[in-house]
Amino acid sequence: MVREPIFKKKYYENNNYSCSKNVTIMDGETGELFCENCGVIQGMILQNNMGEIFPNSDFSSHAGNKTSLRLYDMGLSTFVGKFDHDCTGKSFDYKMKPLIHRMRLWDSRSKIKQSSERNLRTALLEIDKLREKLSLTDLVLERSAYLYRKSAKTNLVRGRSIKGMVGACVYIACRELDISRTIKDIAENLQEDRKSIARNYRFLFQNLSLTVSVSDPLKRIVKFSNNLRLSESTKREAIRIFDKLQELGVTAGKNPDGVASTIIYMASIKTCEHISQQQISKISGITAVTIRNRCKEFRKYINLI
């Protein structure tokens, strides 16, 4: 989609251009000046009033902070700044500084009145920390914050650890948006027990009436293969094996991590790339016993010779 320029007509008396129709148009977004008749660019204008040049953008003087569920106050509240000067830049009188300091102190205290509000603020900070650690998008974080706020409103977080509930909300958001993040990954980055996150996930799943789609084993195959540093031929062979098993309906109802681990092991055998079951188990979190059992079942349909 190509944007439609914002034009403003301006007339200049002392113009050195030889065009007969001396009508100069300014593009409001780029600041370029050009002739309406011949199209010759005559220069560029830079204005201090950003709202005039960019009337429909975030640079407009009327645009405020964006609202977000990841912010404790959703970006709607005001606060007393930390600088000891007024709007004109003039410093406060020495008698006024203690009053401003006291006002700043009570302003910060008035935003958190109860322990539940303090817990919500701590939980939202923990969610925001996972952005860089797990490479999550803003959409996942917004959905996680919404789930935690909903859990807090229905009093489901009472008596449970903050990090455990945060990990469960992030895992649910990743499952809903089809992003490959396991409970183990979230637990390691949150420094929380994996069992606590899994228990809270089941608790929220039952009480919030959520519908979470089953993750695609194909994404797990690519992820585990990259972590094991397998060759490209092994990855392609694993994808071919998965496509064949999926057409036969053998992978339905099985753990996606177990299916992906077994297919990677079978592909490594077929391409003669020596990867042990213990190496795959360490990366995927699936036991070697599960890999062997799935391998016996899948070898009925796949020839590894």
The superfamily (CATH) of domain 117-207 is: Cyclin-like (1.10.472.10)
Q: Exposed, middle or buried by CB within 10 Å (0-12, 13-18, 19+), for 232? A: exposed
- Give tens-digit pLDDT for 214-260: 778 888 898 899 989 999 999 999 999 999 998 988 888 788 889 99
Q: Exposed, middle or buried by CB within 10 Å (0-12, 13-18, 19+), for 164? A: buried
pLDDT of residue 211: 77
Selection from 145, 150, 155, 146 nearest residue 116 by Cα: 155
pLDDT of residue 262: 93
pLDDT of residue 43: 67
pLDDT of residue 302: 87
Mean pLDDT by groups of 10 residues along the chain of 305 residues: 43 52 64 70 54 43 60 66 76 83 79 76 89 88 92 89 92 86 89 92 88 79 90 91 90 86 92 89 89 91 81
Of the chain, the end-to-end C-alpha distance in Å amounts to: 53
pLDDT of residue 197: 93
Intrachain domains 117-207 and 217-298 with the same fold: yes
> Domain ranges in the chain?
7-53, 117-207, 217-298
pLDDT of residue 1: 38
Selection from 303, 210, 291, 288 nearest residue 254 by Cα: 291
CB proximity list for 64: less than 8 A, separation 6 or greater: none
pLDDT of residue 44: 60
| 41-44/32-35 β-pairing | antiparallel
pTM, whole model, 2 decimals? 0.59
pLDDT of residue 48: 43
CB proximity list for 224: less than 8 A, separation 6 or greater: 260, 261, 264, 280, 283, 284
pLDDT of residue 21: 63
The domain 217-298: what is its CATH number?
A: 1.10.472.10
pLDDT of residue 74: 67
> What are the strands of the beta sheet with 7-10, ordered from one edge?
7-10, 24-27, 32-35, 41-44
Determine which helix (DSSP H) or strand (DSSP E) holds 228, and give its type and residue range. Answer: helix 217-228
pLDDT of residue 210: 81
